[in-house]
Amino acid sequence: MTDLPLGVAEIVKKTHAGRLKAVPAVEEALARIAERDPDLNAFSVVRREEAVKEAKTVDRKLKADRGPLHGVPIAIKEELDVEGCVTTFGGEGNTTPAAADGEVVRRLREAGAVVVGKTTMSEFGAFPYTESASRGLTRNPWDRTRSPGGSSGGTAAAVAAGLVPVGMGGDGGGSIRIPAACCGLFGLKPQRGRVTTAPHEHLWFTLGTVGPLTRSVLDSAVVYDVIRGNADTDRYRAGDSESFVDATTLEPGRLRIGWSTKPVSRGVQPDPIHVRAVEDTARLLGDLGHDVREIDPRYPDPTAAFVPQFFAGIRAEADDVEHYDRLERRTRETYRLGTWVTPRVLQAALRATERVSAKANRVFDTIDVLLTPAMAHRPPRAGILDGRGTVASALLAMPAIAYAALWNVAGNPAAAVPCGPAEDGLPVAVQLVGRTDDEATLLSLAAQMEKARPWPKIAQV
Burial class for 10, CB neighbours closer than 10 Å (0-12, 13-18, 19+): middle
Residue 434 located in a structural domain:
yes
Task: Tell me the percentage of the chain whose pLDDT exceeds 70.
Answer: 99
State how far the Cα of 61 lies from the Cα of 34, in Å rounded to an integer: 28
Residue 64: predicted pLDDT: 87
Mean pLDDT of 432-461: 96
CATH number of the domain to which 53 belongs:
3.90.1300.10
Q: Would strands 186-189 and 209-214 be described as parallel, antiparallel, or unpaired?
A: antiparallel
Q: Would strands 414-421 and 427-434 be described as parallel, antiparallel, or unpaired?
A: antiparallel
Cis, bond preceding 147 (omega within 30 deg of 0)? no
Q: In b/e form, how buried is each residue of 155-164, taking b as 16+ CB within 10 angstroms?
A: bbbbbbbbbb
Q: Name the domain count of the chain.
A: 1
Mean pLDDT of 68-73: 98
Q: Containing domain of residue 150, as a range? A: 8-452
Q: What is the dihedral of CA 107, 110, 111, 113, to 10 degrees?
A: 90
Residue 458 located in a structural domain:
no
Cis, bond preceding 199 (omega within 30 deg of 0)? yes
Q: What is the dihedral of CA 218, 419, 302, 138, to 10 degrees?
A: 80
State how far the Cα of 181 lies from the Cα of 285, in Å rounded to an integer: 19
- Cα–chain center distance at 383: 21
pLDDT tens-digit map of 301-359: 999 999 999 999 999 999 999 999 999 999 999 999 999 999 999 999 999 999 999 99
Residue 438 located in a structural domain:
yes
pLDDT tens-digit map of 164-187: 999 999 999 999 999 999 999 999
pLDDT tens-digit map of 424-434: 999 999 999 99
State how far the Cα of 47 lies from the Cα of 33, in Å rounded to an integer: 11
- Is residue 2 scored above 80 in pLDDT? no
- Is residue 63 scored above 60 in pLDDT? yes
Q: Apex CA 349: angle with CA 347 and CA 351, to 5°?
A: 70
Residue 1: predicted pLDDT: 52
Residue 460 located in a structural domain:
no
Q: Which residues does the annotation mark as catalytic?
A: 77, 151, 175
Residue 2 located in a structural domain:
no
Residue type (1 letter), 404: A
- pLDDT confidence tier of residue 245, bands split at 50, 70 and 90: very high
Residue 397 located in a structural domain:
yes
Residue 211 located in a structural domain:
yes
State how far the Cα of 156 lies from the Cα of 187, in Å rounded to an integer: 9
Its pTM surpasses 0.75: yes
